[in-house]
Amino acid sequence: MKKITTLVFACLLGAVAYGQGLSGGIKAGLNLANQTFSGNGYTTSPSFLPGMHGGAYVTWMFTEHFGLQPEVLYSAQGAKSGDQKYKVNYVNVPVLVRYSVNDLLSFHAGPQFGVLTSAKFVSGSSDQDMKDQVKGSDMGIAAGVGIDLPMKLNFSFRFIQGLSNINDTSNSTVSQKNYNLQLSVGYTLFGK
């Protein structure tokens, strides 16, 4: 995580030093999170678990069309099956390449790195801490589309596919991966 943080801050310092095309703000929204479980010749995915995400972003445009958009987001994820919920929360750092078609529409894609903050299994009114059975980090790939309105509001839709097996249960042959649909609304605090 230290390397990721260093990379994000280096990009930000470079952007400030370069002094062109730098903007940033805050964002929050809805997660529709799920997981896939694979092993012993089968793959299954339970139901989507709604959650929230929120944090900050910086956009550094190198040219009129191409730029970099690192973010830091707290993200509530997991999956559910009936009244049972598997909740995993992360601090995620997506580092996205941004392609702006025009002032209104953009596409973005890139890696996302996550650090686990908590993991719980909830059944009815009881919950059980599962943090020792989930790996402390996650890596995925994110891709999406954004709309930037003139009044400094922006909206985005993103799909994140986990690449890492987050299952840390000893002697388990089951691979467990996150995936997430993200709907966000943001507000630009500085820059365009």
Q: Which of 156, 124, 148 is nearest to 55 (CA)?
A: 156
Average the pLDDT over 120-145 and give the result: 94
Average pLDDT value for residue range 162-182: 93
The model's pLDDT over 99-123, given as tens digits with 9 standing for 90+, comes to 999 999 999 999 999 999 999 999 9
Residues 20-67 have pLDDT tens digits of 689 999 999 999 999 999 988 888 889 999 999 999 999 999 999 999
The 10s digit of each residue's pLDDT in 79-92 is 999 889 999 999 99
Residue 85 token pair: 């919920």
7/72 Cα distance (integer angstroms): 12
Whose tokens are 């402390």? That residue is 136
The reported pLDDT for the residue numbered 3 is 60
Domain 2-190 has CATH 2.40.160.20: yes
Residue 174 has pLDDT above 80, yes or no: yes
Extents of the domains making up the chain: 2-190
Asked if the model's pLDDT at residue 16 lies above 60, the reply is no
Handedness of CA 51, 125, 128, 163 (dihedral sign): negative
